[in-house]
Structure 1
Amino acid sequence: MSSGSIRVGIGGWTYEPWRGGAFYPEGLPQKRELEYAGQHLTAIEINATYYGRQKAESFANWAAAVPEGFRFSLKASRFCTNRKVLADGAESIEKFLTQGFTRLDDRLGPILWQFMATKHFDREDFARFLDLLPDAQDGTALRHALEVRHESFRDPAFIDLARSRNMAVVFADHDQFPQIDERTADFSYARLQRATADCPTGYDEKALDRWADKAREWSKGGDAYVFFISGAKERNPAAGQALIARLN
């Protein structure tokens, strides 16, 4: 594995508390919020794809709004992952994959497959599910990140499955979810979810220094994606910018 780029971002770009000077300047038209976010961050996790299909033209427009080098990750449809038998999700997976997100072109980052906190690890079912995730779509290479949120996934068999398919296991900075820090792919994916409202940058100086060091460590094995998600969501853009400043 070779060293890679570090991209830092947030979840989505339309959030009322970010307006009026908190992140977006006072008076900035909402139609220009993505453009602004693209100038101050280096990645965004698209959440809308979790709830429903998007138009191919929307993906093309989003790609055009951000600069070269920026990446969007996509949260896979809940209809693919929120089911009793994962291997039965082929139709939902196909529907998700064919909505036109390859129109993001070189702005396309990893696809995030997030599983419910109640979902237990079943090796056979999970292996069959992973077999449904292709390496490419419409001629575009795909990267897959797996966010598991039940302690049963602390299993060498799960790590082996992910590694055998070059899929990243998401590192979750969260009180209730397992923190699995295993290199299973030629990229890494972290979701930092402990931002606090009483800190202007969500995480304090020492914590941000630690995450900068950790991001550099992850990037030694390939591209690293670090997203500030949930927690005190109003602080996440400031947290992302503070981390980018340290990495630069």
Structure 2
Amino acid sequence: MTAAGFRIGISGWTYPRWRGDFYPAGLAHRLELSYAADRMSSVEINGSFYSLQRPSSYEHWRKGTPDDFELAVKGSRYITHMLRLTGVETALANFFASGVLALGAKLGPVLWQLPARQQFDAPLLAAFFSQLPRTTHDAALLAGRHDEKVPTDRALVTAEVDRPIRHVLEARHTSFDTDEAESLLRQNAIGTVWADAAGKFPVIDRDTSGVRYVRLHGHTALYASRYASRSLDQWAERCRGWRSAGRDVYVYFDNDARGRAPWDAAALQERLTG
């Protein structure tokens, strides 16, 4: 279920609250991604934020989704929250060696979510952006420099096809909502994430790459509240506007706590494909 230029989905898919609600009672857990993928056009892998995954997991996710599906990948919090973007070469190598390249043609944007305390620092960001691989070939070369945190027998350091890798940044500090920050991201072709988070984090509406990437964390209650029909209509209108400007549009619902995310994603998907 796709519409040209639009990728609509959910952030993660393994939530017990969804079982017997969005997921039919008795559906095997291993089939949940495939079930969701039949009802939307993309999913954001968020387990990669918390820990290094395995090539076999990425391969399983690739095989369990339709041919025209995309899987965005959330970058490691070890890089963004612990190292704070400093001295990250080996950590980046480990991240890409952990299996990201197994997604092949289904690899969508790579999301880097910064902690709320992280203020805009032009030299720091520029140095980080310069280390990000922009093609799968470059990612494979970088992955080859992994250390023992990714054992050799669990590392993937090759790419089947050389294709672009696009990166987006979710900043959660108002210092990123400036012309200086916009200019730096545009110069480095890094997309700016629009995060709707019930007022908890700033909304940064900046067009800095060929990608418009939205994360909907909850309209009135963070990670919980639903998006009303009128709100979904407004998001559909925004998406169409971005697409008409030549942008590829990615929208992920993260209002998972009360099980609203997959229903809202399916509803927005229907608005854009109907």
Alignment TM-score, normalising by the size of structure 1 = 0.92
* CA displacement 1:160-189 (0-9 Å, x = unmatched): 111011110000112121211111111110
Which residue does the alignment assign to 1:245? 270
Separation of aligned partners in 2, 1:42 and 1:88: 35
Q: What does 1:20-169 align with in structure 2 at a 5 Å threshold?
A: 20=20, 22-83=21-82, 85-136=84-135, 137-138=139-140, 139-169=162-192
CA RMSD after TM alignment: 2.0
Partners of 2:227 and 2:168 in 1: how far apart? 24
SS across alignment from 2:92: helix
Q: Is the 8 A contact 2:22 2:263 kept in 1?
A: yes
Structure 1: any 5+ residue segments left out of the alignment?
none
Aligned counterpart, 2:240: 216
Shift of the 65–170 alpha-carbon distance from structure 1 to 2, 3 Å rule, reads same
Query: Could you tell me how far apart the structure 1 residues matched to 2:258 and 2:238 are?
Result: 22
- Structure 2 residue 217 is the aligned partner of structure 1 residue 193: yes
The residue type paired with residue 49 of structure 1 is S
2:193 to 170, 177, 184: 170
CA 1:218–1:119: 2 relative to 1, 3 Å: same
Corresponding residue pairs, total? 243
What percentage of residue pairs aligned between the two structures are identical? 38
For 1:88 and 1:156, the matched residues in 2 are separated by 27
Decide whether aligned partners of structure 1 residues 150 and 241 sit closer, same or farther in structure 2, where only a CA change above 3 A counts.
Answer: same
2:184 aligned with 1:180: no
- TM-score, normalization: structure 2? 0.84
Tell me the distance in 2 between the aligned counterparts of 1:85 and 1:66.
33
Question: Counterpart of 1:225?
Answer: 250
Aligned pair in 2 of structure 1 residues 166, 190: CA closer, same or farther (>3 Å)? same
